[in-house]
Amino acid sequence: MSETSILGTPLSVGNVTLPNRVFLAPMSGVTDQPFRLRAHRAGAGLTVSEMVASGELAKGRAESERRIRLAGVPIQSVQIVGREAVAMAEAALIAEGAGADIIDINMGCPAKKVTGGACGSALMRDPDHALRLVEAVVGAVRVPVTLKMRLGWDDNSLNAPEIARRAENAGIRMITVHGRTRCQFYKGRADWRAIRAVREAVTVPLVANGDVETAQDAREILGQSGADAVMIGRGHYGKPWLAGWIARVSGSESDAGVPLKNTHIYSYISDHYDDMLTLYGKQSGTRHARKHLGWYLDLHAPDTPAELRDAILTATEPDTVMNLLGNAFGRDSEICTREQAA
């Protein structure tokens, strides 16, 4: 089967069957409940929660519990991060008890506040310890456990194939690889070909991640990496529907359809904003929503005057925000071009 046609086909992860092979990546501060719900409605094959600190979840912190809140999607994947086996296992159990169908282990976050605590991609510097965490989580839950990581810590330690092989032997059921090292952060371009070394090391489903923004990118990353599926992160900024749209068109450049036919962008943003206020409350929700409003403006109303844009992103009253957005978009503006959608 070609890379073009495989995207829209199901994929099994343990006893869980995903409807297609284009996924929404976990992103802190982005893939909260309202965002995941929109990605699912648009047709994403899998949506993953924001990264949840295992120790905080084990302590019952409200913010961590909010991050694992069910998003109204049929397959719930919760990503946990940490460095202590007991806390990771406990967090996995809590997430499973809350309804998670898949538990994902974060071994790829490059943020200094995460790696400084010997978590995220810092675990790739100590594969033996990383595998102890994997074993603890796999042994704690009945649902499939997956793993997300990078190529390695730096160019001198590209150990993703070794860790992936050992993780599969420990019971990991799917592996996602971002085509950069930790020390690259998000600089340069992701090395899609380098992911192929992991493909050659494991038999479980492999997901390729990094710099995928279009259907053409999805085709190419599959071809170069040999992966079974694609995970898209930053490409979703201002486009929660992107994964579903790519899965639906399966890379067909002749498809002129759009993910939100007959849906007005103003109404779409208004609903998203309301859902964020419901989740976080007025004060916090208004603040959390600003990044999303900025992305929507940048992509779909790029000619918005600077003064209006600033007013939208600094207003504190929801009614004021929506009235200003109506001025920016026009309440009858539609997402109606493939270029906007992709």
The 10 Å Cβ neighbour count of residue 70 is 14
d(CA 121, CA 110): 6
Phi and psi of 236, rounded to 5°?
-85, -5
DSSP string, 21-53: SEEEPP-TTTSSHHHHHHHHHHT-SEEBPPPEE
d(CA 159, CA 308): 49
Could you confirm whether 336 is annotated as catalytic? no
Of 179, 175, 176, 198, the closest CA to residue 187 belongs to 179
Phi and psi of 321, rounded to 5°?
-60, -50
As a whole number of angstroms, the longest Cα–Cα distance in the chain is: 57
- Cα 25 to chain centroid distance, Å, stands at 2
Burial of 10: CB neighbours in 10 Å, binned 0-12, 13-18, 19+: exposed
The 10 Å Cβ neighbour count of residue 316 is 10
d(CA 168, CA 239): 33
Element of type H or E holding 92: helix 85-97
* Residues 6 or more apart whose Cβ sits within 8 Å of residue 58: 87, 90, 91, 94
Please list the active-site residues: 109
